[in-house]
Structure 1
């Protein structure tokens, strides 16, 4: 029977969501006992939930350690949103052209629940470089986060990466018709013998790519 009580509890769903949220914050696999402690349940209470989440593909269990990890299913589900699919489809071509020009990788990120989420990546054609995993998330204080929350009055932001020494983030906004930065294109620039261009030239190329993708988004 349906209920109109907004506080109506669904214990099994609460357990599943608690587990997914906890795993999302972990840097590696987690055992059943640790998971149970983290979500305030007994191992027997989380056992069936873990089985079901694994069967549905939301989590994976490493063999032979038996540790649980969050799968990429949530990211795959997010990519099924028409808005994100369309944005990635418009951006990926210019991003690949950018990497071919500057011999550095680049990524596309958006705001996601108060964090910066990488939704697309274009690899550098060079034999050596730096890349960011699709699905990775970062705090708003990062250069991409600053561009997404505060904009980029100069059309770009150049700033040392506070999380990775030796990397300089070169970020350009993707701006929609209302003037809002809906995404950020970032080249995590690393100076190596494979670097085809000086950093100033790479920054100009990133800025131009941001303008190109912005024009595609607006339909200019």
Structure 2
């Protein structure tokens, strides 16, 4: 991880250091102590067992003295546990507790609705966001087309996982041990290779489903963004332009979720 300046050890920001043209366009607001804490949390999250102070220092490319106060603070705040006999640090359930205080659907809505509105406005097509719920596809967010026509899906609606394009995309990014139909096979492999699915809707004439996954850090699909593209003489954009816009929107939603 790059240092914020020549005195990165001290925790102070260096804002007047020379910068090239590319760097000037992206101001560096790094907080070194926070960077150390996040590096430690992310490192320990990947470990099955604990790590000692020297091991953590080596893995984060810092000295033991640099991380001592950070480790002490994280332990005091309840994010880390230090075994008194071995001296090894492990994560507590503090982060798990914080994550589960936040309604995941509320987080999805907050991250997705603004980008989805821009997608609907730019393509003149409706779009929706879906998750897996008890083995079926549930629509959790929907933005209608601002045009005079469009295909609307009710928020809360449930659809079969196996027979929908949205379900196929979510299933393709689920691990094989999750017992989700459609997570393996040539069709799932093709979706993972392309990163999306464009498929004619088998139930609705003149509709092509354009679906992109919203992926977590572990590669699983947390949700799927679907544009039920209505192909008529009134459509303002061809399906490939809508596909590109949906790809950008899915990437923006992922970024908003911190993924």
TM-score clears 0.5: yes
Find the residue that maps to 1:99 and give its secondary structure. Answer: helix
Q: Which residue of 2 aligns with 1:149?
A: 171
**Matching of residues 67-146 of structure 1 within 5 Å:** 82-141=103-162, 142-146=164-168
Instruction: State the TM-score, normalized to the length of structure 2.
Output: 0.52
Instruction: Show the counterpart of 2:198.
Output: 158
Corresponding pairs, count: 140
Instruction: Give the conservation status (yes or no) of the 8 Å contact 1:126–1:194.
Output: no
User: Rg: which structure is higher?
Assistant: 2
1:81 CA displacement: 6.8
Residue deviations 1:79-104 (CA, integer Å, cap 9, x gap): x9711111111000100000011000
Larger mean Cα displacement after TM superposition, 206-215 or 119-128:
206-215
Question: CA separation in 2, counterparts of 1:125 and 1:194?
Answer: 13
1:182 aligns with 2:204: no
* Deviation by residue 1:131-174 (Cα, 9 ceiling, x = unmatched): 11111111112100011111342121000112212210000111
Measure the CA separation in 1 of the matches of 2:146 and 2:125.
Answer: 8
Selected match of 2:231 from 181, 191, 195? 191
Q: Secondary structure at the match of 1:92?
A: helix
2:107 is paired with a residue whose SS is: helix
* Residues 208 and 231 in structure 2, CA contact (< 8 A), matched pair in contact too: no
Unaligned runs of 5+ in 1: 1-79
DSSP-derived class of the 1:91 partner: helix
* 1:173 partnered with 2:213: yes
Q: Structure 2: how far apart are the matches of 1:182 and 1:194?
A: 33
Is contact 2:199-2:209 (8 Å) kept?
yes
Query: Retained in 1: the 8 A contact 2:206–2:232?
Result: no
Shift of 1:192: 2.5
Kindly indicate whether the alpha-carbon contact (under 8 Å) linking 1:103 and 1:194 is maintained by their aligned counterparts in 2: no
Give the match for residue 210 of structure 1.
250
Q: Distance in 1 between matches of 2:220 and 2:211?
A: 15
Q: CA deviation at 1:191?
A: 1.4
Higher relative contact order (CA 8 A, sep 6+): 1
TM-score normalised over the length of structure 1: 0.61
Q: Note the residue ranges of structure 2 that are not aligned, 5 or more in a row.
A: 1-100, 174-190
